[in-house]
Structure 1
């Protein structure tokens, strides 16, 4: 099962990621993160790669 979550770099985006990770683990699924460049902060691409690696 794939869990899809939308993300912006904000407290709400962090909460969405946390819940999606929990669901993916619960259902032994994979996680697909859709990042919006509208809203939140816009850091360097390397920062997003680091966040993705932290999820593994």
Structure 2
């Protein structure tokens, strides 16, 4: 697995603290850039649901 596979959010700019994402073996993997050893694995469908929920503002009350 290459570090080049990880993509950083375009909203994070030059900030080192951001969420990074990649696909690996049919799964979506997520990690926080400042703790790259901890990787969350999920399915593409679950990740799409999460993104839809975020975009709809349904988690804004947690911010």
| TM value normalised by structure 1 | 0.35
Query: Which is bigger in relative contact order (C-alpha 8 A, separation at least 6)?
Result: 1
Instruction: Judging by fraction of residues, say which structure has more strand.
Output: 2
Instruction: Judging by fraction of residues, say which structure has more helix.
Output: 1
Decide which structure has the larger Cα Rg and report it: 2
